[in-house]
Each structure stands twice: as C-alpha cells, then as structure tokens.
Structure 1
C-alpha cells in the first residue's frame, strides 16, 4: 500500500479526528476485525469493538467508526476518525486510493480457465513490468481490499481474478478494481445455487461490461456459445474477440499436441506467429489467446508475449500426465469440475487416447443447488457424445451422469460407485499398458483426490 497519513485519510472521507494523531501513517486496510493482521492498519467498522486486547498487538491502529467513544476506548496508539456513515467513508477511501494510480488493470472472469488465464497474463507481464495479482484461486469478495491495496507507486500493471458466486460479485469487484481490460473466458453452468438460472449466471458474468464502466476493453471467447449471449449491442467500449475463426482479432489455426503442451499458429492482423503454450487441450489455446491479447493491449509485443508464454508453469492437478497402474497413462484433472471443464478434459482424453482404451472417472459437480439433476444429466449427455470406452462415476449425484449416458444410448461399459474403494479394485483388473485414464473431479472431494493419487505408478 502507498502509505497515507491520518490527516490525508481524514480529508478524503470527510471525518473528524476525535482521538489520536494526524501524523500517524497508515500502511494497511481492513473492514473486518479478523482482517487486521499488521500494525498501522485502518479499520472501517460499524460495530462497537468490545475487546481491544485482541487487537493491541497490531497497534498503532486507526479506527473509522460512527460509534460514540467511551473512556474504555481511550487507548494509547489508537487513533479514531468519526464519520456519519462508515460504508460511505469506506467507498470514498476505495475510490480515492484506486484513482491514485493510472495503470492498466485487467479483470478476468469465466466458468473455467480464469485462474490459468490470469496466471498466464501475470507471467507474461512480470518479465518487463512490476505486476500485482490475485493469489492462486483466492478471489473472494473479502480479499478485494487486500488486492487493491497491494498496488503502490512501484506497480506498473495489475491482473485480478473476479469470480461469480452470486449476482453482483463482478460488479463489486469492478467497483473496487476499476479494470481497464476485462476478460470473459467462457460461461458454462456453475454456482446455480445462488444464480438460480443459466440466464442469471450469464447475466452475472456479463456484469463485466459494467465493471469496465462501459468504456474499457473487453476480451471475449467468440467460440463459446453462452458468451455470445452477453449483450454487447449497447457496449461503448472496445471488444476484442479471440477464438478459432478468421473474423476474430486473435485466432488460432493448425493446433497440435506437442511436448505436454499445444502448438498453434496465432493469426493477428494478417500476420502468422508460431506459438507454444504448456498445458494440454484446445481450451488451453483459448486461455493463451486471451492472455496474449491482454498483454498486447498493455504494450507487450507479440514476440515477447509468445516467448514468455513458453515458460509458463501449469497448475498441479490440471490435466497432469503421470505413469499409471499396470503401465497405463493417468490424466489427473482433479482441480475442479464444471460441465465446461469436463467437456474440455474429455476432448483431451479422446485426442490422446486414439488407438488406446479410454477410461473416464468422473466425480460430482458441486454448487448447483436445485439445478443439480439437470446439470448432471447435461454432463452425462456430454460423456455420451464425446465417447469413452469405460465410464466410472464416483458419488451419488455423479451416478446421474452414468444413468443419462446410458439413456442416450451409450454402449460402453458403465460403472457407478459411492466411494473410490470398489473403483480402485475394478481398475486394477481392467487397466493395461494400452489404457489412458482421465480422472475428473473437485479438489475438495477427498475420495477423488485419493483415487487419483493411488492410480499413479510408484517410481
């Protein structure tokens, strides 16, 4: 954080210093008590703090409050700024701090690929620019202030992941980060326990247009069907399309699997650029296109962006290849699961499994609410359409996929288990050196994670 004095903050939020000193320096910010982790923090709090002992190790501290002070609150190294409305003061502080910096800020959302795309952009930019970003997949609302305050006078660019757990999430992130470039990687079916309908979920992702204040640069996947439903007609900003079609601003041709990654020809403004991105699958090419487009908008040449992308490190448990039991091949994709990422993983299995026996082990899709039955049926249809030689589902809800695949006419072997023990026993009997196994699930499903690990061949 760029340090601010109490005097400066007081002027920004139109507050009155009722205790403490104008010259105290603020180096951190918080709006919940549990977010206070360091000294010299300003805490915006609407509630009466009853126990200062829990905070004394973090003094000196600045409190912004609308509560009346008592003798109990008169503590050395505690400065208090009194305001009429803490929420109004908080947003004045947010707006003031963000407006201190005229830098490119990239916001990335999407059902799948947002963390990977964000990390690709960070990796490309960090070669030549001081860049701040969200940490791994930690993209919750409660972390937004921390990420905003990570920007300081040394920062030259920022890239933040903006997830959708519920309608309004992208808007709030946009209000805090004020992005200049927004990316929608794709829109599948997820978080329907809060968004309720697919249409509402698409609309929630489409909040990116408002987050860009209707004037920034929007990068969108032109080959994603739901992304096409985002209403762009009244958008006054610039739209950059990435995909596989020649009308796109950045598009890929001649896509090939090579050396645990994807090789393709990037086409941009009638020029061709041979490009390599680590990570398996055509979906990884979409991620790379969005990352390259964003970096290019920030001023990184395509030559430098492509060179840096070659050294990108993929995430653990995202279509990682391992030697498996009975000399088989394992594709560990247990990072997360949505219908979008399931489709991508199944296509990789099909591409790499030509001439081999293909086995898909699939776990439950979470965060669906009342849509659970429908989305699991959609997943079952996907499995049938793409095709595998053996389908194994783990979990009661995942069984719906197996039933749907059979109902669609699947003639392959299908097994459904409530846990991984029986699946493990089955696999030891049907797997050989001519087998490739995809295990697809959620990192929070211990049964899936344990099964994936147990299928690896000991070195």
Structure 2
C-alpha cells in the first residue's frame, strides 16, 4: 500500500478521530484480524467476531476504524481510533479512493476453466516490459481482493486479477474492488451448483462481469462456448471481442497442431495471419492463448510481440502435464482442478495423444455440484463412452455413477470402481504397460489423488515428439 497518514484516512472515511495522533503513518489495511501481516495497519472493524483481541496487541501500533467503541479497545490506548457512522460505507470509501489512484489497465478474468492459465499467460506477456500486479497462482478468494488491490503502487503499470465465482454476487464484489477496464469470460460450464443451485444462476453469476465493467470497457468472450452465448448483451455499451475456432471470432485460430511441448496454430486477425506457439497441450490451451493475445492487444501490445513472448511461458504444475510413467507408459497429470468442463478437455487430450495406446482414465469425484451431483457424474460417464476410453477407474461413491452411465451409453471397456484410494495403485500397476496412456484427473485438495499421480510417474516429463505423434491433430 502507498503509505497514508491517519489524517488522510480520516478524510477518506469522513470519520472523527477520538483517540491518537493523526500524523501516524500507515502501511497496510485490513478488515479481518486473520489478514493482518504487519504493524502500522489500519483495521476496519467489519468482522468483529473473528478478532482475537489478545493477539491483536502483537500488531500494535494499529489504527482502528469503527462505528462501535468496543470495550476491548480500552487495551489500545496508544492507537488512533477513527469513529464513523457506517463502517461498511467507510470501508468501501477507502477501497474506492485507493482504486481511483491508478489509471492503469485492470484485467479481470473469470470462467469455469482456463482462468488461471489465461491470467498467467497475460501476466507473462505483460511483465516483460512493465510491473504487473496479478493473482498468485489460483488464490482467487474474495478475501484476497484487498491485499491484491493494496499491492498496487505508483510503479505498477497493469493488473491482472482472477475473479472466481463460488456463489451469486462474488464476481460483482471482485469487480467492486478492481473496477476492471477489460473483462474476460473464458467459458461457462457447470460448477458451484451447491451455492448457485442452477446452471442458469451460475451463468448469471458469471455475467456479473458486464456490470463489473460498468457496461463499458472491453469484454472478451469465447465465441464457441454455448453457455456464454446465452448471456444477454443488448445493454452492454462497451466493446465486445470474440475469440474462437469458428468464423465468427475476431481472433480466430486455424491449422491447430501438436508440437514439441505445446500447440501451434495460425491466428487470423483482420485479414492478417500470425503463427503462434503456446506451451501446453490441448485445444483448451489454444483458447487460453487466443484470449491472452486479445487481452494484451487491447492493452497495446502488438500481436507479433505477444506471440514472441508466449513462447517462453511455463505451465503450472499438474495442469495437464505429460510425463513418462511407470513401465514406459505415458501419464497425463491433471490433478489441480476438476469439474465436468475440465474433464471433457482432459478426455479429449487423452484421446488425441493416445494414437493406438490403451487409454486409461482415473477419475475422482467432482465436488460443489450440490443436488445435481449424480446427474453430472452421469454426464461425465457419457463423455467417457464418447471418447472410447479402454479402462475407467472411478474413485468415490458418487464417482461410481460415471461408470454406470458410461455402460448405459454403450461403453464396453473395463470399469474399476473404488470407494476410496485403497487398492487403486496396486490394480493400476497390473494393467499399465508401455502401450498405456493414463489420465489422472482430480483436484489439488485431494492429496490422495495427487499422490497417486506422483507414484505413476517415472520421474521426468515427456513431449509429443517422444510419443511419435502425428503433428496435425485438431480439425
């Protein structure tokens, strides 16, 4: 945070200094006790129930902004206290003030899949010649928004923030902090139905991006995504840019091929063609690259320069990483995030890389589907059948629905269902050989699934050329 005096915060919040010195300098701000990291912080007492008042003494000197003079504040007689009529109004006045200090590109990225990779691609391109504030990894919780905002200072030249949707209103709140000038929706699949309840409500939650842009600025959309097409755009007064693999896209990819350690394709933009290589396998990575190029082009980076910078990008661990596996097999480790949309992409990659190999898919349960969990595990089973997987492993009671639905769809492969991880590794080792390609699909918090993928690795990464793949794979 750019340092501010207590007197400045007093002016911003329109409060009254009832204790302490207005000349004290503040270097950070927080509204939750758990988010305190240093002394000389202004603490907005919005979340009083979570405060450990005794431990709070360790962070003194502090400055408090409050609408209620709590008895516990008597222990902080040397700390400035600013009293306000409405603590929420005071907090958001401070947030608005700080955001308005910066006239730089703010890019907000949301979507069911690809938002972390897209955000990282954008960051990688932009940070070659400027300081960029960006979400760390996939740490996209609303609790991170204030620290990310305050991490911006006078040397920052762009911000790229991943804006997650766990429930309706999340995206609106993200955008309230950052007021993005460019908004991206990578795609809209099925996820977070435990809070959003219906697919329609989930789509509407993603569509909060339009209001987040204040119906101006630039909105970048996937022209090929069916759920995105249902968003009502009539009231949006800003610029809409489409990326995709069909002729309706502004940034259009064609001649998509697998290459060593990534994908190459031709980008068609306003009658010109640009060769592009992006590290990372799969059609989904082409979409991510198109989106990133479109975003940085809006910021002012020429397409030729953007494509040049893309080549040195390094993928996140466990994002569809390809390894040489045990017994000379091939392993796709995709154990960072799982939902029906990402499973569809992973199965497509498995099919693309197989080239006659025995295809083994190890799928865990997908969480956060609420009362729709059985239905969507069954849909995943239909995906398995459509991709002609040879051996299917499911792990978890609900995941067993994947196998049952695949069989109903006409699947004739081998199905192995496990309620827990016990016995899975042993059974896999009896099936895997040098002619096998194995997909392990799970999420980062499932430590057992992550550990399984690790056990199946021979210890080094491989690439498409090692698999003797034909180059042109996607039409």
TM-score higher than 0.5: yes
Equivalent pair of 2:33/2:52 in contact (CA under 8 Å): no
Q: Which residue of 2 aligns with 1:28?
A: 28
Equivalent pair of 1:48/1:67 in contact (CA under 8 Å): no
Give, in angstroms, the shift of residue 23 of structure 1. 1.2
Give, in angstroms, the shift of residue 116 of structure 1. 0.7
Q: Which residue of 2 aligns with 1:363?
A: 364
Alpha-carbon spacing, 1:51–1:318, altered in 2? closer, same or farther (3 Å): closer
Give, in angstroms, the shift of residue 241 of structure 1. 0.2
Cα distance per residue 1:38-84 (max 9 Å; x no partner): 11111010438986542233222110011236696264541110001
Q: Which residue of 1 aligns with 2:473?
A: none
Equivalent pair of 1:19/1:74 in contact (CA under 8 Å): no
Cα distance per residue 1:267-320 (max 9 Å; x no partner): 111111110001110000101111111111111111221111111110111111
Is residue 10 of structure 1 aligned with residue 10 of structure 2? Answer: yes
Equivalent pair of 1:192/1:367 in contact (CA under 8 Å): yes
Q: Which residue of 1 aligns with 2:37?
A: 37
Q: Which residue of 1 aligns with 2:66?
A: 65
Aligned length: 459
Give, in angstroms, the shift of residue 9 of structure 1. 1.2
Q: 5 Å matches for 1:84-233?
A: 84-233=85-234
SS class of match (1:247) = coil
Alignment gaps of 5+ in structure 1: none
CA distance in 1, matches of 2:190, 2:72: 54
Cα distance per residue 1:333-385 (max 9 Å; x no partner): 11111111001111111111012111111111011111100111111111111
Q: 5 Å matches for 1:397-408?
A: 397-408=398-409
CA distance in 2, matches of 1:226, 1:147: 30
Q: 5 Å matches for 1:324-343?
A: 324-343=325-344
CA distance in 1, matches of 2:72, 2:149: 35
Alpha-carbon spacing, 1:193–1:254, altered in 2? closer, same or farther (3 Å): same
Alpha-carbon spacing, 1:66–1:422, altered in 2? closer, same or farther (3 Å): same
Q: 5 Å matches for 1:252-271?
A: 252-271=253-272
Give, in angstroms, the shift of residue 120 of structure 1. 0.7
SS class of match (2:381) = helix
Q: Which residue of 1 aligns with 2:471?
A: none
Give, in angstroms, the shift of residue 388 of structure 1. 1.0
Q: Which residue of 2 aligns with 1:409?
A: 410
Q: 5 Å matches for 1:288-299?
A: 288-299=289-300
Between 40-49 and 159-168, the greater mean CA deviation after superposition: 40-49
SS class of match (2:437) = strand
Question: Please, what is the CA RMSD of the aligned residues?
Answer: 1.6
Give, in angstroms, the shift of residue 168 of structure 1. 0.3
Give, in angstroms, the shift of residue 447 of structure 1. 2.6
Between 68-77 and 244-253, the greater mean CA deviation after superposition: 68-77
CA distance in 2, matches of 1:213, 1:272: 33
Equivalent pair of 1:242/1:251 in contact (CA under 8 Å): yes
Q: Which residue of 1 aligns with 2:450?
A: 449
Equivalent pair of 2:53/2:72 in contact (CA under 8 Å): no
Give, in angstroms, the shift of residue 433 of structure 1. 1.2
Q: Which residue of 1 aligns with 2:322?
A: 321
Q: Which residue of 1 aligns with 2:469?
A: none
Give, in angstroms, the shift of residue 138 of structure 1. 0.8
Give, in angstroms, the shift of residue 438 of structure 1. 0.8
Equivalent pair of 2:172/2:212 in contact (CA under 8 Å): yes
SS class of match (2:429) = helix
CA distance in 1, matches of 2:140, 2:376: 24
Alpha-carbon spacing, 1:225–1:49, altered in 2? closer, same or farther (3 Å): closer
Alignment gaps of 5+ in structure 2: 461-475
SS class of match (1:124) = helix
Alpha-carbon spacing, 1:447–1:50, altered in 2? closer, same or farther (3 Å): closer
SS class of match (1:120) = helix
CA distance in 2, matches of 1:428, 1:255: 34
Give, in angstroms, the shift of residue 458 of structure 1. 5.5
Alpha-carbon spacing, 1:275–1:7, altered in 2? closer, same or farther (3 Å): same
Between 99-108 and 425-434, the greater mean CA deviation after superposition: 425-434
Give, in angstroms, the shift of residue 218 of structure 1. 0.5
Cα distance per residue 1:101-131 (max 9 Å; x no partner): 1110000000111111111111110001110
CA distance in 2, matches of 1:458, 1:174: 42
SS class of match (2:80) = strand
Alpha-carbon spacing, 1:354–1:41, altered in 2? closer, same or farther (3 Å): same
Alpha-carbon spacing, 1:57–1:412, altered in 2? closer, same or farther (3 Å): same
Q: Which residue of 2 aligns with 1:350?
A: 351
Q: Which residue of 2 aligns with 1:428?
A: 429
